[in-house]
Amino acid sequence: MTENTDTFGGNEDREDDDDGVTANSDKKSGRTSLLESGEDFEMLDEEDIDDDPPPLEDAGGGKKDKKLESEAHKEAEEEDVSTPLEEWLDVLGSGMLKKKVLGAGQGPDSRPQKGQNVKISLKTSLADGTLVEECPALSFTLGDGDVIQALDLAVQLMEMGEKALIQVNAKYAYGSRGSIEPEVPPEAELLLEAELQEANDAPDLELLAPALKSALASQKRERGNAHFQRGDYAFAVNSYSIALQITESSSKVDITTEEESELLDVKVKCLNNMAASQLRLDHYDAALKSCVAALAHQPDNIKALFRMGKVLALKGEYAEAISILRKALKLEPSNKTIHAELSKLVKKHSEQKGAEQAMYKKMLGNPASVGSVSQKRHAKSSWGLNWKWLFGATAVAIGGVALSVVIAARN
């Protein structure tokens, strides 16, 4: 179990707003709602990197005598023991993340592994030396995105007991947005002084008490919320995925109905927030799956219904979206957000149907004009038929009169 220490800013992490009301304080602090323009009613409180350090280059060459070969092997072993003091290690090879050992550790075998819970002392300063904050005991799970990316990467290269200075480009710290707490300006480079104090295996989730499991999942979800608020939606999805894995893990300990309900509530919140992040990433199919999963557990969950309606609308499935939003509005008739979204979709759907009808008319021609031409042709055809019949009848009558005259003459 890790301490819930926020290196992004404690004010950014908080519970979701289940009442659908956004506090004025959020606007003052510069936070954005989950869906812009007041459309949301739930607040949410990158570049491929090799996980392992680059291998040493092969310095082998031609033939050497045994003595030189032995000395070279000895030097290689010494280099592998630890990074030399006062020498910068370019972690990524781009100059954006560098690490220098200030105090040697216990050797490469003592380096922590991804997934372990670590504890470090940390002093954060700006590039000009201005102190930002000091954390004598910062605990987090390595590789889970609980801290800024620079720490997640650099601490993996630290040895137990090692003291290091880490030079960080803004891209791997607080980026273009900076941070409110700790106070870091946008695009700020940082200097981190860190000492690795502990590294322990994460607890076995199957043996973890349900209350602790819920707390751990909530902590990961809050980390996802912090990523979301910063616009790091892919990192947010990662944190929510970790939280979901915790809630879905099997348990070998007894669990009460209340504890099970609490875990389920955390799970649904994670699915809702994940759907919001996937929407921002334009991953509509993934967002739809998240909504469906949330509704499978809570069919009347307003937020899941609302987001599902949003996803369907963005996919152009207006009729289905309208049906879902009408269900949500029936459950919460006073919700203005749903009203606005539903009205907008009904208008779009009407316009879509009108456009389709116009297209069909263009493809098939004007039915009215076609009918008029047909009627004229029928009238002309009928008149031609009547005229022929009249002419024939007249001819028959004249022929009958002539025949009568001939017969009378003969008589």
79: CATH = 3.10.50.40
Residue 37 lies in a domain: no
Which of 40-54, 213-227, 321-335, 393-407 comes out lowest in average pLDDT? Answer: 40-54
Distance between CA atoms of 7 and 192, rounded to whole angstroms? 12
Output the pLDDT for position 394.
55
Q: Of 170, 21, 156, which is closest to residue 91 (Cα–Cα)?
A: 156
Encode pLDDT of 309-318 as tens digits.
999 999 999 9
CA nearest neighbour of 88 among 99, 78, 96: 99
Residues 276 and 389 occupy one common structural domain: no
Calculate mean pLDDT across residues 262-278: 97
When pLDDT is cut at 50, 70 and 90, the band that residue 350 belongs to is confident
Listed residues 150, 174, 202: the one ending a domain:
202
What's the rounded mean pLDDT across residues 31-52? 39
Residues 201-217, mean pLDDT to the nearest whole number: 95
In a domain, 44, yes or no: no
The most confident of the ranges 176-180, 192-196, 361-365, 391-395 is 192-196
Same domain, 235 and 152: no
User: Residue 30 falls within a domain, yes or no?
Assistant: no
Q: Kindly state whether residues 292 and 230 are assigned to the same domain.
A: yes
For residue 393, what pLDDT band results from cuts at 50, 70 and 90? low
Contact residues for 57 (Cβ-Cβ < 8 A; gap 6+): none
225 and 288 in a common domain? yes
Mean pLDDT of the chain: 78
What is this structure's pTM?
0.68
Look at residue 352 in the predicted model and tell me its pLDDT: 67
Distance CA 182, CA 194 (A): 17
- Residue 400's pLDDT is what? 56
In a domain, 85, yes or no: yes
Residues 401, 309, single domain; the answer is: no
**Overall domain count for the chain:** 3
Q: What is the pLDDT of residue 349?
A: 76
Find the domain containing 399 and state its range: 374-411
In this structure, is residue 29 part of a structural domain?
A: no
Of 142, 172, 202, the last residue of a domain is 202
User: Does residue 94 form part of some domain?
Assistant: yes
What SS3 state is found at 392?
helix
Q: Are residues 402 and 258 in the same domain?
A: no
**Selected residue with higher pLDDT from 161 and 34:** 161
Mark which of 184, 202, 220 sits at the end of a domain: 202
The arrangement of strands across the sheet holding 131-141 comes to 88-90, 97-103, 163-168, 190-200, 117-126, 131-141
Distance CA 66, CA 337 (A): 79
Residue 61, pLDDT > 50, answer no
Q: Is residue 31 part of a domain?
A: no
pLDDT above 70 for 278: yes
Residue whose C-alpha is closest to residue 198's, from 223, 162, 167: 162
Asked whether residue 224 falls in the same domain as residue 326, the answer is yes
Percent of the chain with pLDDT strictly greater than 90: 61
Predicted pLDDT at 313: 93
Read off the CATH number of the domain in which 297 is found: 1.25.40.10
**What count of Cα atoms within 13 Å lies in the side-chain half-sphere of residue 289?**
5
Q: Which residue has the higher pLDDT, 344 or 363?
A: 344
188 and 215 assigned to the same domain: no
In a domain, 81, yes or no: yes
Whether the bond into 182 is cis, omega within 30 of 0: yes
**95 and 181 belong to one structural domain:** yes
Task: Give the pLDDT mean for 212-228.
Answer: 96
Q: 277 and 316 in one domain?
A: yes
Q: Name the residue with higher pLDDT: 251 or 40.
A: 251
In angstroms, how far apart are the furthest CA atoms of the chain? 158
Flag whether pLDDT at 253 surpasses 50: yes
Q: Give yes or no: residues 236 and 357 share one domain.
A: yes
- Low-confidence winner among 85-99, 103-117, 123-137, 342-356 (lowest mean pLDDT): 342-356
Same domain, 242 and 335: yes
